Amino acid sequence: MKILIVEDEPKVVDFLKQGLEETGYETMVAENGQAGLELIGQQPFDLYLLDILLPFVDGNQLCKLVKEKYPKAPVIMITALGTLQNKLDGFDAGADDYIVKPFEFKELVARIKVLTKRVTIPEPKSGNILKTGNLELDLDKKMAFRMNRQIFLSAKEFALLEYLMRNKGRVVSRSEIAEKVWNITFDTGTNVADVYINLLRKKINKDAEVNLIRTRIGHGYIIEQD
């Protein structure tokens, strides 16, 4: 398995490269955003580790490029930027996970294993559509519709809506959402799930009379028709 590391701090590069190669992964390093851009254009990798604050081209831009070119390839942001908005920006760029420096190497390896296992899951068969009332989610085309109107969702908004619709009629907790959609351990100080639920509501409830995503206070969220 080959991993591309795009990082401009030499100590971090050495730490990641040595640890990953000792764990059994093959690595390639780009020491700035431009070098990362060139490598991404030249060949595919099994996983991408991207810093955000990079010379020439930042990590969010690189992440968007990776997802355009290799939609199934997992991307982990590794950065010192740890605010909620930083994380939302990273996830909106298409990141599959987000780790704030400093971090334990074992945590990184665990997250890599989760993402690479997920990639090996077979794609859904053609025509796989989830429905709740007049809301439809096309899993093959990655498109959402309500009342025959297309709803434009980011990758994480789509993943969250898909998880809710797969669990239609069941309350899912914030910790479950964090684990299943973001692959992270729930932190009571983090309100990523709440933020994304609000974003989804604004998009799917536009011009609609019924709010399909409902809050169960103290428990979590549920999507249901009635």
User: Residue 154 to residues 65, 101, 134: CA-CA distances in angstroms?
Assistant: 15, 25, 20
Q: Smallest Cα–Cα separation from 212: which of 156, 134, 129?
A: 134
For residues 2-13, average pLDDT: 94
- pLDDT above 70 coverage of the chain, percent: 92
Confidence of residue 124 (pLDDT cuts 50, 70, 90): very low
Confidence of residue 126 (pLDDT cuts 50, 70, 90): very low
Identity at 48, one-letter amino acid code: Y
pLDDT at 32: 93
Residue 76: its H or E element: strand 75-79
Identity at 177, one-letter amino acid code: I
pLDDT digits (tens, 9 = 90+) for 100-117: 988 889 989 998 988 887
Domains of the chain: 2-119 (3.40.50.2300), 129-223 (1.10.10.10)
pLDDT at 103: 87
CB 71 within 8 A of CB 123: no
Residue 49: its H or E element: strand 47-50
